[in-house]
A and B are shown apart, each in its own frame.
Chain A
């Protein structure tokens, strides 16, 4: 009941005209960047972080959440009409939805993706409302040893499960941990690895690395190695779904949600696993297996409905560890954490007590955001498609200009801009040799947290390392970490290859 009362307070704060406006802007921006190739939610939120200096936390966080959600909605539009997934978690949608579009069923594919995202997003937000306070209460009992174990689990999963090779995932993680080492050590006050450069004493900002890898790296890589896509665009058809479309979509949406939410809320590295799982589930359960891409069919609507729902549900699910434990499980969540920190807010169990109103307003804005997106998405789909007509030179030049603003705006340093360029070239190298990028971001953010918790845990135990084995929660989380290392083998054995999401 207390939850309901809190949520009511949240709604009354979220429904003020000014906060509604931020939600609206966020959803619009999010959908646009979801549609556009080469720019994702992590980058967009990173570029907009400077507004945290001026806008109040509630408004800014509502907008960022809208961007996060909107990008999932927008990504499906590009996949269905163009067969180039705007976000890599919409790869399955690109497979099945594009096939439907090629056979004159673009409208129903878009409709099932959008309505499915709405249904999944709303159910997942209900689950978030119910579970997040419970997890937060539980997390209040966690000490440094437990936190350390959970952090180790998070970066192990992000690097081991994403990408084709666990070893390359670990290489990316190592780079991220190394970047995280640079700067003042918060416990001892010693400046580490600054190489005598004064700019490095404060450490390297996560935004700088994200913008370097995602915006600059992506632009350079696409110039050097990516052929321009000349794939024809499919014509829009009426969005109307037939009775049989509905009958086949609804169970797929529900199953997708149930698969997506738990995967999002554990640190399992993004939306790929649940979307692939949902796709293979739908293929097994469908009464029309001959329509799926694998059997050279015309495109099965379940194959769009399920994965799209799973995708959205997992995006919501990833807010659970972010809000209750302060642990981001994807690059976008990592940037959202940075946004909280800009306001001196530390996500974690205490956030529900110290900034309860903010949290519940954010949760309420998720319900509202889903409605806004449903309303924006379907009627405006023609407009979104037009976005794809921006000439490639101007789109990329614009992204680079925004990257410059985002990085320079932080502390007006030319050094930062050059560092961004260098990291961009590093990103080209990583992409060229198939190293996943997200572990770098997660590693640089979680590494210092892990070190701090490790030291605190050992201070409490007076230097006894056995504390990680004797405390039941910490020990079982570390045991789970070992199990996670086996997951990629299982996936490979079943022929599933994952690619990362930004």
Chain B
């Protein structure tokens, strides 16, 4: 069960990072009963133990009591990977572009990419629906709720 083992080992790695990180906290001033490093150590030990036990399970027949839908041999659905890639690309895109092209355009792009990921094949229509959805939201959040989203085009224009 290589993937399951990887999860167990991954938790052990996080545990080690927590423990090593706690060693490097700056010294605290004054009288301290329980320093800032003690509780992180406890979390590190806890995660380490869980990681060891999960790895043990992975090596001896796999995680116990898995629900039916988590059969490890099951492959991703056909088109699932490209769909997930579209959604991921849309989210990366919105993160990188929102400060450049503004909320409405960036979010509409995300809308179109996600719709494409979920099987829509009409990008122009999706983009139009995206704009029709995000424009009122932009107005509502900025005017009504006082949450200022970046403007339609960048402020320097």
**Interface set of A (CB-CB < 8 Å, partner B):** 50-51, 53-55, 164-165, 167-168, 170-171, 174-175, 177-178, 181, 185, 187-188, 190, 192-193, 216, 219-220, 223-227, 391-394, 396-398, 400-401, 404-405, 408-409, 412, 414-415, 417-418, 420-421, 424-425, 429, 432-434, 447, 451, 454-455, 458-459, 462-463, 492, 497, 499
**Which of A193, A415, A499 is most buried by chain B, counting CB atoms within 10 A of its CB?**
A193
Nearest CB to that of B26 among chain A residues? A190
Q: In the bound complex, do residue A164 and residue B66 qualify as a contact, i.e. CB atoms below 8 Å apart?
A: yes
Q: In the bound complex, do residue B117 and residue A223 qualify as a contact, i.e. CB atoms below 8 Å apart?
A: yes
Measured between alpha carbons, how far is A476 from B73 in the docked complex, in Å? Answer: 45
Looking at the complex, which one of B64, B70, B92, B117 makes contact with A421 (CB distance below 8 Å)? Answer: B92
Q: In the bound complex, do residue B118 and residue A404 qualify as a contact, i.e. CB atoms below 8 Å apart?
A: no
Q: In the bound complex, do residue A168 and residue B80 qualify as a contact, i.e. CB atoms below 8 Å apart?
A: no
Asked if B77 is at the interface (CB within 8 A of a chain A CB), the reply is yes
Say yes or no: A51-B145 contact (C-beta < 8 A), given A178-B43, A188-B28, A433-B63. Answer: yes
Q: In the bound complex, do residue A165 and residue B65 qualify as a contact, i.e. CB atoms below 8 Å apart?
A: yes
Asked if B105 is at the interface (CB within 8 A of a chain A CB), the reply is no
Q: In the bound complex, do residue A401 and residue B33 qualify as a contact, i.e. CB atoms below 8 Å apart?
A: no
Q: In the bound complex, do residue B120 and residue A220 qualify as a contact, i.e. CB atoms below 8 Å apart?
A: no
Q: In the bound complex, do residue B94 and residue A396 qualify as a contact, i.e. CB atoms below 8 Å apart?
A: no
Say yes or no: A454-B39 contact (C-beta < 8 A), given A171-B11, A405-B137, A417-B98. Answer: yes
Smallest CB separation, A283 vs chain B (Å): 23
| Chain B residues within an 8 Å CB radius of A54 | 144-147
Q: In the bound complex, do residue B95 and residue A393 qualify as a contact, i.e. CB atoms below 8 Å apart?
A: no
Measured between alpha carbons, how far is A187 from B46 in the docked complex, in Å? Answer: 22
Q: In the bound complex, do residue B146 and residue A53 qualify as a contact, i.e. CB atoms below 8 Å apart?
A: yes
Measured between alpha carbons, how far is A418 from B33 in the docked complex, in Å? Answer: 38
Nearest CB to that of B112 among chain A residues? A397
Q: In the bound complex, do residue B88 and residue A178 qualify as a contact, i.e. CB atoms below 8 Å apart?
A: no
Q: In the bound complex, do residue A434 and residue B84 qualify as a contact, i.e. CB atoms below 8 Å apart?
A: no
Q: In the bound complex, do residue A458 and residue B33 qualify as a contact, i.e. CB atoms below 8 Å apart?
A: yes
Measured between alpha carbons, how far is A178 from B19 in the docked complex, in Å? Answer: 11
Measured between alpha carbons, how far is A236 from B34 in the docked complex, in Å? Answer: 62
| Chain A residues within an 8 Å CB radius of B141 | 50, 405, 409
Measured between alpha carbons, how far is A325 from B44 in the docked complex, in Å? Answer: 28
| Chain A residues within an 8 Å CB radius of B46 | 170, 174, 177
| Chain A residues within an 8 Å CB radius of B77 | 223-227
Say yes or no: A224-B33 contact (C-beta < 8 A), given A192-B25, A412-B150. Answer: no
Say yes or no: A170-B63 contact (C-beta < 8 A), given A178-B18, A190-B26. Answer: no
Looking at the complex, which one of A167, A404, A414, A497 makes contact with B50 (CB distance below 8 Å)? Answer: A167
| Chain B residues within an 8 Å CB radius of A187 | 36
Measured between alpha carbons, how far is A409 from B137 in the docked complex, in Å? Answer: 12
Measured between alpha carbons, how far is A408 from B110 in the docked complex, in Å? Answer: 14
| Chain A residues within an 8 Å CB radius of B95 | 414-415, 417-418, 421
The 0/1 profile, CB within 8 Å of A marked 1, for residues 32-71 of chain B is: 1111100110010011001101100100000111110110
Q: In the bound complex, do residue B91 and residue A421 qualify as a contact, i.e. CB atoms below 8 Å apart?
A: yes
Smallest CB separation, B90 vs chain A (Å): 7
Say yes or no: A220-B84 contact (C-beta < 8 A), given A192-B21, A392-B119, A393-B119. Answer: yes
**Interface set of B (CB-CB < 8 Å, partner A):** 3-4, 7, 11, 14, 17-18, 21-22, 25-26, 28, 32-36, 39-40, 43, 46-47, 50-51, 53-54, 57, 63-67, 69-70, 72, 74, 76-77, 80-81, 83-84, 87-88, 90-92, 94-96, 98-99, 103, 107, 110-112, 114-120, 126, 129-130, 133-134, 137, 141, 144-147, 149-150
Q: In the bound complex, do residue B115 and residue A393 qualify as a contact, i.e. CB atoms below 8 Å apart?
A: yes
Nearest CB to that of A463 among chain B residues? B33
Given A165-B63, A392-B119, A433-B63, 12 other A-B residues pairs in contact with their CB atoms under 8 A: A50-B141, A175-B11, A190-B26, A192-B40, A193-B18, A216-B87, A225-B69, A393-B126, A398-B111, A400-B87, A401-B110, A401-B134
Smallest CB separation, A447 vs chain B (Å): 7
| Chain A residues within an 8 Å CB radius of B26 | 190
Q: In the bound complex, do residue A394 and residue B115 qualify as a contact, i.e. CB atoms below 8 Å apart?
A: yes
| Chain A residues within an 8 Å CB radius of B51 | 171
| Chain B residues within an 8 Å CB radius of A219 | 87, 114
Q: In the bound complex, do residue B63 and residue A404 qualify as a contact, i.e. CB atoms below 8 Å apart?
A: no
Looking at the complex, which one of B47, B64, B115 makes contact with A397 (CB distance below 8 Å)? Answer: B115
Looking at the complex, which one of B74, B129, B130, B134 makes contact with A225 (CB distance below 8 Å)? Answer: B74
Q: In the bound complex, do residue B33 and residue A455 qualify as a contact, i.e. CB atoms below 8 Å apart?
A: yes
| Chain A residues within an 8 Å CB radius of B34 | 454-455, 458-459, 463
Q: In the bound complex, do residue B107 and residue A401 qualify as a contact, i.e. CB atoms below 8 Å apart?
A: yes
Q: In the bound complex, do residue A429 and residue B7 qualify as a contact, i.e. CB atoms below 8 Å apart?
A: yes
| Chain A residues within an 8 Å CB radius of B130 | 397, 401
Nearest CB to that of B25 among chain A residues? A190
Looking at the complex, which one of A216, A409, A415 makes contact with B91 (CB distance below 8 Å)? Answer: A216
Measured between alpha carbons, how far is A223 from B86 in the docked complex, in Å? Answer: 10
Measured between alpha carbons, how far is A418 from B98 in the docked complex, in Å? Answer: 12
Nearest CB to that of B86 among chain A residues? A223
Nearest CB to that of B22 among chain A residues? A192
| Chain A residues within an 8 Å CB radius of B134 | 401
Smallest CB separation, B56 vs chain A (Å): 10
Q: In the bound complex, do residue A178 and residue B33 qualify as a contact, i.e. CB atoms below 8 Å apart?
A: no
Say yes or no: A224-B81 contact (C-beta < 8 A), given A53-B147, A188-B36. Answer: yes
